[in-house]
Structure 1
């Protein structure tokens, strides 16, 4: 029987500050180097004595599965980062726990069945067509695919949430979300934060963004309920009508919290996957040619529908490989309730634990030549040979993303329609990155468009 090693290795960092500056300057690179130099369970400390933070990183597929699925009850969303998300976006499905989470999940789950989600394909296609029409007038036939896919994903999820009230919400969300995201990131990673009620410039700016965002959601919800209409198929109407004898229904505050979480999780993650899929195809003409050929063969010029997803396997592989290299949630945090053995090491009770798709998706045990873009890693045969949690862009276990089928539906339809209309080549070859609530691009991913003829 193996003996547990209680001394967990990790980077030494600076004598008084540990890895504080490394994490601040390059969080993802620090995690990656830590795995290469110290193994699959790593202890990282940061900050001066007295307010020093310690985090335990778990990088193996088996460890990720243990944290997210096998022993999920022992690893809770109770760290500072989730508390900041909770304070900013409410206690919706992303942040709720225990019976509160189970109740919300039971009410929401019927709205995310495959049949229900497939019904949104037409709305997604209409928003993609709107984007492509705008590209006809792009200056120098150049667009930033990350920006463009962010707007597309936001409009698509807003249209599905609010129906005809898209424009009212999108302009405010585009303005307010970056403010709140930055606020959550700074407070979530800081060992010391001022109370939110203190009138600091940062607090006042975030509070104003909160008020504006809450107000537009509350107004749309109130108008929808006042209209008395039933049977509408937008997600807000379905959420408002969701009810059971056991779980009751959502009140107005709960509805707003679900809407805000769906806006957050439903657009930033899909935008990241789509934007980087286009960026990677722009850099790799051979794979782009294969994608064009599949789209032309299967669709023959018509608009894709939900029924076409299974007939576009290479596009799905492209998206999965983009999510491997650029996972929208590059690091996922939990807090251990009890001491737990992972990979031969003991994680102490109360410890902050991170599993990192950014690192596991590049782990040499699962991904040879890991930095190379290769959609053929995701053929059914190749997937069957890897551990289940070698790839987990949607999280996993009982807290896996409820919207992952919608994300894939939207992404395949959008990618197919872009490829129908355009060939393109990369202008920007490298995109600097940072971490926030999701993966953040610090630069552009511009491509030059070439309209395709029918």
Structure 2
């Protein structure tokens, strides 16, 4: 933000309904509504949502410079105090995703040693094991067509559960697959509701959500108890949960039982969504673009020559990495990110009042014509080193940014590159579903199947 633009101009308002404003548009198609807001009103836009007396005002920020200001430059002024984060906090606890202030700093200090590059690189074998299992399942089933997003969600869940819990993954994956979608829908519905009934009231929706929460909590508590018992018996493993249980420092102490459960829930949610989304939609996009797929196959064949990739191969697979980065541009797992302004400030010359809800939107910034020529076109070469250096830092931010950037960014890229390379070693893909409806809950969701036809490769 330059001093010349500090004019305190009131942000333009996106036109909406007289009584409800943009509430129905946001509930029905939040992604399309934010795209329309930038197209019609510019880089800072105010949206109103809800009836008079219960109306909220949302300031949407779409420029790379504005996103950097919110997430990094003035991050202390933009807190996770908005309605949606409060609903996520009540559903998933006060883990790394939702905690703030000293709670967050303490948790981050305890967890950071578990996510060093050296330790994350050590997870490559567990990832490769799960990918090989998935590919063998396709072969045994004689699969000719698969829903790639469903399959990569299962893969990412099993991989993160194996790394979290060791070999005890089956029950955890089954519970998460059954419970997470319902909890996410509940958070979304409460986040958009102008008037929220207390969660304790025995409405049908509250009772269903409470049952899902109980099941998730009980599964996490069971696994934590088993790991602690194994430790007391001298059978500690090197899975992430064991390391979390042992994590302790003189300054920060250790995690108690509730904190352990909350970290496990956050790692299960955040630890599989980004990988599943980027990997599933990468296969979808490769199926739609045969020439890009051909180049990816050639790189995988040349570099790996049939062997299983490991962490040391990531730098040798730059085109596969670019495919994934371009996929994360078009299909960011967290397409919208909210904050609340503590004090009044200015972004791109527009006044943001104290207490305002602020949204930065990778979904929109990743399609901003100021940074991306022909933004809907799939082109991995947007991510050559030269092209990346020529763009503003926050033209692409699928992992957030600033002091709250995703702690698992390196793990997600490691898992995604290894998985995509292994899948491409064995299969080519043709698209069955060329158009996929999308929605945004806690994360980006497909509104239908993402099916691809499998083409077996020789050798």
- TM-score when scaled to structure 2? 0.97
Equivalent in the alignment of 2:22: 19
Question: 162, 166, 182: which one pairs with 2:165?
Answer: 162
CA distance in 2, matches of 1:2, 1:118: 45
CA shift, 1:188, in A, is 1.4
Q: 1:83 aligns with which of 73, 82, 86?
A: 86
Q: What is the Cα-based RMSD across aligned positions, in Å?
A: 1.0
Aligned partners of 1:10 and 1:386: how far apart in 2?
28
Structure 2 residue 418 is the aligned partner of structure 1 residue 417: no
Q: What is the aligned counterpart of 1:400 among 399, 405, 419?
A: 405
Q: Does 1:122 align with 2:125?
A: yes
Residue 137 of structure 1: how far off its partner (Å):
4.3
1:4 counterpart = 2:7: yes
How far apart are the structure 1 equivalents of 2:15 and 2:93? 37
Q: What corresponds to 1:108 in structure 2?
A: 111
TM-superposition CA deviations, 1:101-133 (whole Å, max 9, x none): 000000000000000000000000010011111
Residue 279 of structure 2: aligned partner: 274
Structure 2 Cα separation of the partners of residues 189 and 118 of structure 1 = 40
**Matched residues in 2 for 1:27 and 1:340: separation?**
25
Question: In structure 2, what is the equivalent of residue 332 of structure 1?
Answer: 337
Aligned equivalent of 1:193, options 192, 196, 205: 196
Counterparts of 1:179-328 in structure 2 under 5 Å?
Answer: 179-227=182-230, 228=232, 229=234, 232-328=237-333
Name the count of aligned residue pairs.
454
Which position in structure 1 is the counterpart of 2:440? 435
Preserved CA contact (<8 Å) 1:433 1:442: yes
Ranges of 4+ aligned residues in structure 1 off by more than 4 Å: 137-140
My pick for the range that moved more, 224-233 or 159-168, is 224-233
Residue 452 of structure 1: which of 449, 452, 457 is its match?
Answer: 457
The worse-fitting range, judged by mean Cα deviation, of 265-274 and 369-378 is 265-274
1:370 maps to 2:363: no
The structural deviation recorded for 1:5 is: 4.0
Q: How does 1:337-348 map to 2 (within 5 A)?
A: 337-348=342-353
Secondary structure of 1:54's aligned partner: strand
Deviation at 1:447, TM superposition (A): 0.5
How far did 1:233 drift?
A: 1.1
- Select the residue among 47, 54, 58 that pairs with 2:57: 54
Q: Does 2:361 align with 1:356?
A: yes
**Distance in 2 separating the partners of 1:297 and 1:19:** 52
CA distance in 1, matches of 2:25, 2:212: 31
Query: Conserved in 2, the CA contact under 8 Å of 1:230 and 1:237?
Result: no
Change (3 A) 1:195 1:294: same
CA distance in structure 1 between the aligned counterparts of 2:356 and 2:143, rounded to whole angstroms: 52
Q: Secondary structure at the match of 2:276?
A: helix
Matched position secondary structure for 1:57: strand
1:139 offset after TM fit, Å?
Answer: 6.2
